Structure 1
Amino acid sequence: MAAAAALALASPLRRLLRAPHPRGAISAPYYGITRGRCSSAIAVAAAAARNSAMKGSVDRNAAEEVRNILDMAERASQLRDVFHTNFLTPPIIKEAMLAIEKLADIKAVAQGGYPQAERCRISVGHPDSMTSNPDVVAALSISGNFRLEPCSHGDFLGAILGTGITREKVGDILLQGERGAQVLVDPELVDYLISTLEKVGKVGVSCTQIPLLALEYEPPRTKSSKTVEASLRVDALASAGFKISRTKLASLISAGDVRVNWTPVLKNGVTLKSGDIVSVSGMGRLKIGEIVTTRKGKYAVELIRYL
């Protein structure tokens, strides 16, 4: 009884932070709900898009997240409302946006706070209800004297999660060296973090909200190289780009640790094209640049490694 009474008295924000969501559910604040008729056409399109999205995915967790987002899109269309996901990882963003494109009467916007953001929130709604981009991402500056106690991305993330916030409520973290970091979060948690976050590692910090335009980010650093290969297979180009043997890369592919454009690949023979992004767990990312066919019928390929 005491536990039940304590839960009843808990603040709505505390319940938001600590209470687990039901299995398969995505937290979606409701804004200005206007009831509308259910569109059977949207439901059919959503079901078809779900099936199509699932066929090419080997990541069951990502597949379930995409299904949930499509269900959210259905509800948004039926209610002529706008719903928002939590912060999502790049593979889920890619699959969800591709699937939503197949739905009629649905508009979707992915926002992470700045152009190069990796973790983003997707807002879905009926076009009549989404006349402007929703304000679903807030920026915080976490400042302190980190000159003698430098802290990593993991230190800042750990301090934020230590307040009780779950990972999906936090977007990208932009390190600022001795000054601290800038963090993208769910706007509902701004006041909570400002009043709660006091330390990162051993360093005392202050936390303040800043405009998104005040974010300090730089384009990712890259290093380019060239290789000449007999084919454009992923095992040939990625082994050259990451400086590892094809045998090693083949084992990584078999283990599901290699992705092309955020989608896992399970075969060495997948063909790449200019603009494709190859990511290998623990090794980073590689972009395929210009491809030129040589006189001998081979391929001279520019490989752009993200540092």
Structure 2
Amino acid sequence: MAAAAALALASPLRRLLRAPHPRGAIPAPYYVITRGRCGAAVAVAAAAARDSAVKGNVDRNAAEEVRNILDMAERASKRRDVFHTNFLTPPIIKEAMLAIDKLADIKAVAQGGYPQAERCRISVGHADSMTSNPDVVAALSISGNFRLEPCSHGDFLGAILGTGITREKVGDILLQGERGAQVLVDPELVDYLISTLEKVGKVGVSCSQIPLLALEYEPPRTKSFKTVELSLRVDALASAGFKISRTKLASLISAGDVRVNWTPVLKSGVNLRSGDVVSVSGMGRIKVTKKTKNAIIFSYKL
């Protein structure tokens, strides 16, 4: 039955995965920007915002993503319509929302399904067209008996991607221990996942849609600490922040388990700056909040 359902949905799924900006709408915005200026200035503002994004503190891929979002915003303004991105990482969300703020007559909403969501979708449209918050995020409960076979974030994500869905269609994954996990996804993929997702790791699972208000999440907990290092390299600061050796951190970097601003780090010699977030799979994150000429770093452990 699952195979038949998957076959029936194969063509719609392929079309959906090719479509960059499906339509839809959400409750509670993560960020909201509304600007109103002369509509004739949209193209000029968009060009300036694109240049600003490229020169900003984002890598080449992120800058390209921001440019695409700005192009979408410009089209939305001209057509007096509303368009939606896929799920985006926090750095791209931040840069895109700052850039959209320079556009005329545009309203933008970024939403990930709950207040602390990291991965969000941005909806952009002419201020007169987007009169309500778009509904573009759905929540799924993936249930199973994980008491003897505990599964990680990567296990759940791998199982979802194994059905043929791309990463950009999946938002945050909230682990629930022995019970399973709650996952934020593109609403148009809900029926497909319910019919095709049967296992996570070795555990048989059932999948059902739940309201966003049923999501179970904890507010982020932070702990401040200070370290004095002679180097601002990621291996020096992260080994101090996570209290592991540089050798161990180097092996984690080689395995692709270390990210700076949600982008995998490939070399130990990458230098960090104030505001950078370093995450290590299974260990959490640290955020560099201040640095001085004496290389005294104040950070929050998240």
TM-score (norm: length of structure 2)? 0.73
Greater shift in the superposed pair: 20-29 or 66-75: 20-29
Greater shift in the superposed pair: 59-68 or 296-305: 296-305
Asked if 2 retains the 8 angstrom alpha-carbon contact of 1:33 and 1:79, the reply is: no
Query: 1:251-290 deviations in whole A, cap 9, x for unaligned?
Result: 9999999998779999999999998756689975324xxx
Q: 1:39 to 1:197 in 2, by over 3 A?
A: same
Query: 1:57-103 deviations in whole A, cap 9, x for unaligned?
Result: 45211111110000000001001111000001111111111111111
Greater shift in the superposed pair: 57-66 or 10-19: 10-19
Q: 1:43 to 1:161 in 2, by over 3 A?
A: same
User: What is residue 179 of structure 1 aligned with on the other side?
Assistant: 179
3-state SS of paired residue (2:31): coil
Q: Sequence identity, in percent?
A: 90
> What stretches of structure 1 of length at least 5 have no aligned partner?
288-292
Residue 202 of structure 1: CA displacement? 1.3
Q: 1:273 to 1:81 in 2, by over 3 A?
A: same
Greater shift in the superposed pair: 71-80 or 56-65: 56-65
Query: 1:27-68 deviations in whole A, cap 9, x for unaligned?
Result: 999999999999441011101100011012452111111100
Residue 196 of structure 1: CA displacement? 1.2
Q: How many residues align?
A: 302
Residue 105 of structure 1: CA displacement? 0.8
Asked if 2 retains the 8 angstrom alpha-carbon contact of 1:140 and 1:185, the reply is: yes
Which protein has greater RCO, CA pairs closer than 8 Å, 6+ apart?
Answer: 2
Residue 225 of structure 1: CA displacement? 2.4
Q: 1:294 to 1:134 in 2, by over 3 A?
A: closer
Within a 5 Å distance, the mapping from 1:122-133 to structure 2 comes to 122-133=122-133
In 1, the alpha carbon distance for the partners of 2:262 and 2:46 equals 22
Asked if 2 retains the 8 angstrom alpha-carbon contact of 1:37 and 1:79, the reply is: no
Residue 199 of structure 1: CA displacement? 1.0
Asked if 2 retains the 8 angstrom alpha-carbon contact of 1:34 and 1:79, the reply is: no
In 1, the alpha carbon distance for the partners of 2:36 and 2:225 equals 55
Asked if 2 retains the 8 angstrom alpha-carbon contact of 1:69 and 1:96, the reply is: yes
Q: 1:224 to 1:200 in 2, by over 3 A?
A: same
Greater shift in the superposed pair: 212-221 or 81-90: 212-221
Q: 1:55 to 1:171 in 2, by over 3 A?
A: same
User: What is residue 244 of structure 2 aligned with on the other side?
Assistant: 244
Asked if 1 retains the 8 angstrom alpha-carbon contact of 2:58 and 2:91, the reply is: no
3-state SS of paired residue (2:34): coil
3-state SS of paired residue (1:239): helix
Q: 1:212 to 1:78 in 2, by over 3 A?
A: same
In 2, the alpha carbon distance for the partners of 1:139 and 1:250 equals 36
Asked if 1 retains the 8 angstrom alpha-carbon contact of 2:241 and 2:286, the reply is: yes
